[in-house]
Amino acid sequence: MRLNGKVAIITGGASGIGLATARKFVSEGAKVLVADINLQRAEAVVAEFEAAGSPGATAAAQVDVSKFAEVEAMVQRAVDVFGKIDVIFNNAGIAGGKALLDHDPEVDYAPMIRVDQDGVYYGILAAGRQFVKQGTPGVIISTSSIYGEQAAELAFSYSAAKAAVISFTRSAAYELAEHGIRAVAITPGRVGTPIINQFSEELRALFASEQLRNKMTEPEEIANVVAFLASDESNVINGTVVHVDDGYSSFKQRFDLPTF
């Protein structure tokens, strides 16, 4: 088990990619703090692990990642319960969008920046300080997006926040390397999370067609990559953007070739 003995914090850990990653980490031997804005859901995840025969492998924490004091408290809870941290997966986020000229900045810009951008910054800062305090190496993994590297429909604020995550990751890797701390960003494409699965079948089929396998990525497939990045097997991956988008960023669209 390649994560045996490691302690990880996963934000947004009660659903979607976060939940799939929590399950993967525990299966690989890690202890996990399941942190989510919905404490009831986080506690239900812990109960799931307890019932499945993994007592003490997880703990729950309520966190609003847009508030630094709560992120600091989350890190401290992991230390109080498990004695240390080795990994933080800054995964919590919100989605949504509107055409730029229709924006109300307080509704369509500020919340996205507070959660998807500031929340990652706070996680990097709080975890980085804890790693240095412990005097141990650490890994910081943050969820960006394919939208962090390109323009997209109705995604002005979301793309800005996710682009910041990429910049944060590179800068954190540069500044924290002397402490043995790695920082990596992942850029998922179209993933079958509750956020996307609520859309119409037609729209989900369109999303699937944007990827090379012509299907949605499963959260478990993202979790497999995150587990590798959290492990010592990926020690040379640092300051890097890891595309987990099934080729979304490598092509525009499929079309029937004309006759030449």
Known catalytic residues are 158
C-alpha dist (Å) from residue 15 to 23, 80, 108, 215, 220: 11, 24, 23, 20, 12
How far is the C-alpha of 191 from the C-alpha of 205, rounded, in Å?
12
Query: Amino acid identity, residue 118?
Result: D
How far is the C-alpha of 139 from the C-alpha of 234, rounded, in Å?
10
How far is the C-alpha of 36 from the C-alpha of 183, rounded, in Å?
21
Q: Structure tokens of 98?
A: 């509107």
Element (H or E) spanning 118, and its range? Answer: none
Q: For 124, what's the count of Cα atoms within 13 Å in the CB-facing half-sphere?
A: 27
Neighbours of 205 (CB within 10 A): 13
Q: Structure tokens of 210?
A: 């944007």
